[in-house]
Amino acid sequence: MASDILRPQHGIIDVKLLESTPYVRVAFLSETDQIVEVQSQLIGQHNFHNIMTAIALGVYFKVPAAKIKTAIEHYKPTNNRSQVLQYGSNTIFLDAYNANPSSMRAALDALQDMSAPQKIAILGDMLELGTESRKEHQGILRRAARLKLDKLVVVGPEFARCNPAQFKALSFPDTKAAREWFDDQVFEDALVLVKASRGIGLERIVGNQAFPAG
């Protein structure tokens, strides 16, 4: 709880995580030692570290707490980075600007933590992993399969090399093929993670008939 925040000592800036599902909410002490709660528009506990860093920098440079709060609360992710898009009763968590094993795991953890009648993960290849690529893609498939999602979909040749069928995952060679499948689907009350490296162009799957605007 916010009341658990202690007065920082020896230059330590204390930021508490209050909630991370669906959006990260934190609290910190103002310059007058008042508790300031901040409700962000960022999803997932992994984004707590980004918010914590922003607050710490603001406090260090003596930015008033009210301005720190306003700046974080008004920040809305864009450009395929941690975007939250609403289509009727469905919610898309679009994070298709970049992907590596650690960010993919964090996104899957965020999906696991959130509540929804249906959960779907559409994961595209993680690029530029070199000789570790197959092992890392297998690891992500294994982790995603443990979440017991309603649908697990992978896109790209790297995931295809990992025998995705054994993880009960649908596999498509590219975004065009995945979108053709996606256009034929009708989802209701679904939470959909769309995550891939930028080169896969997985954001093109968003904004189609599967998610009616009304």
Q: Is 23 exposed, middle or buried (0-12, 13-18, 19+ CB in 10 A)?
A: middle
Per residue in 125-177, pLDDT (tens digit) is 999 999 999 999 999 999 999 999 999 999 999 999 999 999 999 999 999 99
Given pLDDT bands bounded at 50, 70 and 90, which one contains residue 113?
confident
pLDDT value of residue 21 = 76
Query: In order of start, what are the domains of the chain with their CATH numbers?
Result: 2-74 (no CATH), 83-205 (3.90.190.20)
In the predicted model, what is the mean pLDDT of residues 181-203? Answer: 92
| Residue-averaged pLDDT of the chain | 87
Neighbours of 4 (CB within 10 A): 10
For 43, the enclosing helix (H) or strand (E) is: strand 35-43
When mean pLDDT is compared over 39-53, 68-82, 168-182, the highest value belongs to 168-182
Per residue in 59-76, pLDDT (tens digit) is 999 999 999 999 999 988
When mean pLDDT is compared over 4-8, 91-95, 153-157, 200-204, the highest value belongs to 153-157
Whether 41 has a pLDDT exceeding 50, the answer reads yes
Whether 107 has a pLDDT exceeding 60, the answer reads yes
pLDDT value of residue 22 = 77
